[in-house]
A = this chain, B = another copy of it.
Amino acid sequence: MGETMKDVYVGVIGLGNVGSGTLAILTADAEQIALKLGFRLRVAAVCSRSVASVKLPDGLGDDVLRTTDWREVVADPRVEIVAELVGGTTTAREIIEASIAHGKSIVTANKELMALSGAEIWDRAIKAKINLAMEASVAGGIPIHAVLREGISGDRIIALAGILNGTSNYILTEMERSGTPFDEILAEAQKLGYAEADPTNDVDGYDARSKLALLAALAFGERITPADIFVEGIRRITPQDFDYAHQLGHTIRLVCSARQTEKGLLLSVRPALIPQDAILASVKGAYNAVWVKGHYGADTFYYGRGAGPSPTGVAVVSDLMRVAREIRCGSPERVSPFAHERLGKYEPVSITTQQRPFYLRFRVEDRPGIIAELAGILAAKQIGLEAVLQLPADEKHNLPFVITVEPSSELAVREAVEQMSKLDFLREPPLALPIEPGL
């Protein structure tokens, strides 16, 4: 089996969901990991603000440093890899900077920080000749980094689309299944601990946006600023929208999309209609998925758990194994996956430049002439009307109905929607969702 290699010691900082999942695998599967690597992956130190009260796995040796001060972990001379599992962009940044300064390699699960500063961190890691890995940062249970970095690295990616936020996907697919409104499902999910007390990050699309920024940066080799990405959440989606979508042979998902266009890279996180037989439509509950379209390899699709201690722990342990192997082989990072530097910073293209069919849903005070007025606004913007749908009304004065329009410039559709919003018979602004082609 080749020459023998010295064991590699790891310091784990952060003992929440991801950290505890990581420690559980490292201790329970120590033998199997050693067989796969040809040497042992040992835990030298663990750190958490509440390290005294955290239940650590039984298999963890007595010689493991347990501390509340992450600096002790980074400074521990045995530690060759620091696992940064605290999240956020403040302490995590300090940990990563200190690790680089100490010449320690890093495994991180931190999407926000890597989406925001990944390119800079990677450049510094290369200069410091250390290794860096972040499989757990996007779609914890899906090894999408390994796929992009190695599996399909020979392809030229032209588009990707994903379901990257488990909480919002759970809410949408539960709404689809049971017909329960948004607020009730969210409240139930919060009670069960599936959703945070402040759900903004999940249901308004910001979590998904960080993940898309990171994925797209890796897929396209560009530095991408999350704040440049168009984002729209799922709060306005109702069970009736699913009824209408089904009538059109579609369903609704919070779709994270990135694609090369002639004008540049077009990025968005937004609820969209997708065909019911699209493979992305089969993603239910808290699962995540990524669909990739390559210039050569055509479609590939990756699916798995979005989060959870064990799936995310697998990602961290797989990274630790890879980095440990690279360290023992003397292979530091040499090329940043973030920026091939061929174009410098990309120019974000506004989604208003795209052509799409749209789904427009209206809630109105019923009176004659409504359709005529709405159709008039569309016609004035050169937007072709495709169909008008109305399900049987369940309540007087609350008649949601839907107009679908032919492929149109999103700019024109938005201007029409803005104009419509001023009409006195509308009970709320129209909901406009793009109708995406089959993936």
Contact = CB atoms under 8 A, between A and B. Distances in A.
Interface of A: 1-3, 5, 21, 25, 29, 32-33, 35-38, 126, 135, 141-147, 150-156, 221, 277, 279, 282, 294, 296-305, 308, 310-311, 313-322, 325-326, 329-336, 340-342
A126 to B, nearest CB: 5
A314 B330 CA distance: 28
A2 B335 contact: yes
Contact of A334 (B141, B147, B279, B329): B329
B154 A300 contact: no
Nearest to A303: B301
Contacts of A135: 151
Contacts of A282: 277, 279, 282
Contact of A36 (B29, B300, B330, B340): B340
B305 A33 contact: no
Nearest to A127: B2
A2 B126 contact: yes
Nearest to A304: B300
A250 to B, nearest CB: 16
A11 B5 CA distance: 32
Contacts of A155: 25, 314, 317-318
Contacts of A142: 300
A311 to B, nearest CB: 4
Contacts of A152: 143, 314-315, 318
Contacts of A329: 329-331, 334
A36 B297 contact: no
A279 B298 contact: no
15 contacts: A32-B156, A35-B342, A143-B151, A144-B151, A151-B151, A151-B318, A152-B315, A155-B317, A296-B311, A296-B314, A297-B314, A299-B303, A301-B302, A302-B303, A330-B330
A297 B311 contact: yes
Contacts of A326: 331
Contacts of A332: 2
A297 B318 CA distance: 11
A146 B151 contact: yes
B141 A298 contact: yes
The 10 closest A-B CB pairs, nearest first, are A143-B151, A154-B317, A146-B151, A300-B304, A329-B331, A154-B318, A297-B314, A301-B303, A35-B340, A2-B334
Nearest to A31: B342
